[in-house]
Amino acid sequence: MDAVQLAAAASDTSTPMDGLCAVASLRALVDALELRQVEEALRSGESWSSIAAALGVTRQAVHKKYAKRLSHIAPTGRGQ
């Protein structure tokens, strides 16, 4: 099922258990996409602060969530 189909299933309340499964699948997809985007943002020189602002969270929150998983990427120094 693609993201559009998952979103449709997640918003359909006629079968709540199917909807909940779709919500869980969407959450996993969004988490994977966010990780990829954070990784690419760091690779392109963005700071933790700018990434946090784009995600609508604090720098500390995004750093805590991703710093260990992405430790192989050298930060550029601004807004770390």
Per-residue tokens: 61: 């929150």
CA 17, CA 62: separation in Å to the nearest integer? 31
Give the pLDDT band (50/70/90) at residue 74: low
pTM, 2 dp: 0.82
- Non-local (6+) Cβ contacts of 4 within 8 A are none
- The pLDDT, as a whole number, for residue 76 is 54
For 18-67, write each residue's pLDDT tens digit. Answer: 999 999 999 999 999 999 999 999 999 999 999 999 999 999 999 999 99
51 and 41 Cβ atoms separated by less than 8 Å = yes
The shares of helix, strand and coil residues in the chain, as percent rounded to the nearest 5, are 65, 0, 35
Hey, where are the domains in the chain?
A: 3-66
Per-residue tokens: 71: 């430790």
- The pLDDT, as a whole number, for residue 55 is 98
- The pLDDT, as a whole number, for residue 75 is 60
